[in-house]
Copies of this chain bind each other. A is one copy, B any other.
Amino acid sequence: MAGNSLGQIFKITTFGESHGKALGAVIDGCPSGIRLAEADFIPEMERRRPGRSSFETPRTEEDRVEIVSGVFEGLTTGTPLTLLVGNHDVRSKPYGVLKNLFRPGHADYTYFKKFGHLDYRGGGRASARETAARVAAGVVARKVLAPFHMNILGHTLELGGIRAERMDPGVIPKNPLYCADPDAAVRMLEVLEKAKRAGDSLGGVVEVLVTGCPAGLGEPVFDKLDAELAGAIMSIGAVKGVEVGAGFEAARLRGSENNDPIRSTGFSSNRSGGILGGISNGDDLVLRAAVKPIPSIMKPQKTIDRQGRDATLELTGRFDVTAVARIVPVVEAMVALVLADHYLRARSGGQDFEV
């Protein structure tokens, strides 16, 4: 299995299973001279951490990031930056059932088919816990982008069919769902409560807005900025769709409606989502990700065992009702990682950015 690396110049490699000793990331290609301390990781790790609401399991990981290499006297040295996050709260789960049955909607079945084994302790690399390494690396990516004063802001646009109608950035950190519309947040919490009681789970839509992104990031053809952002966001376990700008709505517009007029003062509209021909145009980036409902539910489900025999899976214990809120900082991290890499790639080509 390869495929645990992302980026060409700002290249991260993540490692670690949910129930192993630790997980983490190596960042190869981080420029030297960036101030970095372990405390810098705390806020983002807190945002991603489970247990912030009654709809998330209370795994009590501190998720402290340890810098193992790459920093000397408080500054990055340009050598590989290794970030380690220990797994401390590795509880015994009801392994009895999972040792032999594939959980529907999970990667159990496909990992078994591909690798011939089943990490029944909780998903291994397919666990949501893997995203802790992404969020940690994303903190460093934001530091690389710091000269631009970008703001990479994610929020829960939709959850269980409830859609936010307002976008008030100040509201986002004030509710556990990271929703920018306080009224919608209340209703989202209601449908979550209902789903929880039903032993079921909910999905939603996460949106990320990037202000301050300079024009000229991205490469034509295969490494378009939107192509790499889409790939990076789709690589988050629960994501089943990605949109840029008007997205699927653009499919229903006419050219005269969809084209953003260009004015000496900037673009008059932003249906492009800030990207034209795969290259950022200086306007805000707008991205959306469809997040599926968490597959672990309390209802009995039809499945098969390792021998291929029909069986019924009945999970016990506590499970998250939705992954949407926790995915918000992960999508932000993926966006930061792709942008940092493209910034360094652009610089290799000699592009000068006014920062």
B72 contacts A104, C-beta separation under 8 Å: no
Tell me the number of copies of this protein. Answer: 4
B68 contacts A15, C-beta separation under 8 Å: yes
Question: Contact check: which of B77, B240, B350, B351 meets A119 at CB < 8 Å?
Answer: B77
Q: Tell whether A302 is near chain B: CB-to-CB under 8 Å.
A: yes
Q: Please name all residues of chain B whose beta carbon is closer than 8 Å to the beta carbon of A310 when the two chains form the complex.
A: 263-264
A113 contacts B349, C-beta separation under 8 Å: no
Q: Which of A17-66 contact B (CB under 8 A)?
A: 17, 20-24, 26, 28-33, 66
Q: Tell whether A150 is near chain B: CB-to-CB under 8 Å.
A: no
Contact A234 to B242, CB < 8 A, known contacts A105-B255, A119-B72: yes
Q: Tell whether A223 is near chain B: CB-to-CB under 8 Å.
A: yes
User: Which of the four size classes fits the interface of chain A?
Assistant: 35 or more
B69 contacts A295, C-beta separation under 8 Å: no
Q: Please name all residues of chain B whose beta carbon is closer than 8 Å to the beta carbon of A294 when the two chains form the complex.
A: 255
- In the bound assembly, the distance between CA atoms of A104 and B105 in angstroms comes to 42
Q: Please name all residues of chain B whose beta carbon is closer than 8 Å to the beta carbon of A161 when the two chains form the complex.
A: 252
Q: Please name all residues of chain B whose beta carbon is closer than 8 Å to the beta carbon of A73 when the two chains form the complex.
A: 117
A276 contacts B109, C-beta separation under 8 Å: yes
Contact A3 to B219, CB < 8 A, known contacts A15-B68, A276-B107, A293-B258: yes
Q: Tell whether A247 is near chain B: CB-to-CB under 8 Å.
A: yes
Interface string of A90-134 (1 = CB under 8 A from B): 000000000000101111011101111101010011100010000
B78 contacts A115, C-beta separation under 8 Å: yes
Q: Please name all residues of chain B whose beta carbon is closer than 8 Å to the beta carbon of A211 when the two chains form the complex.
A: none
- In the bound assembly, the distance between CA atoms of A107 and B97 in angstroms comes to 54
- In the bound assembly, the distance between CA atoms of A253 and B231 in angstroms comes to 23
Question: Contact check: which of B66, B125, B351 meets A221 at CB < 8 Å?
Answer: B125
- In the bound assembly, the distance between CA atoms of A275 and B216 in angstroms comes to 34
Contact A254 to B221, CB < 8 A, known contacts A242-B241, A276-B110: no
Question: Contact check: which of B80, B250, B350 meets A13 at CB < 8 Å?
Answer: B80
B227 contacts A231, C-beta separation under 8 Å: yes
B258 contacts A9, C-beta separation under 8 Å: no
| 24 A-B residue pairs with CB within 8 Å | A1-B32, A1-B220, A3-B223, A4-B222, A5-B5, A15-B68, A16-B68, A16-B82, A17-B69, A32-B349, A79-B220, A105-B255, A107-B276, A107-B278, A110-B277, A111-B220, A111-B279, A113-B282, A130-B221, A195-B254, A227-B231, A235-B278, A258-B295, A263-B302
Closest 6 CB pairs of A and B: A107-B277, A3-B223, A231-B231, A3-B219, A348-B348, A201-B255
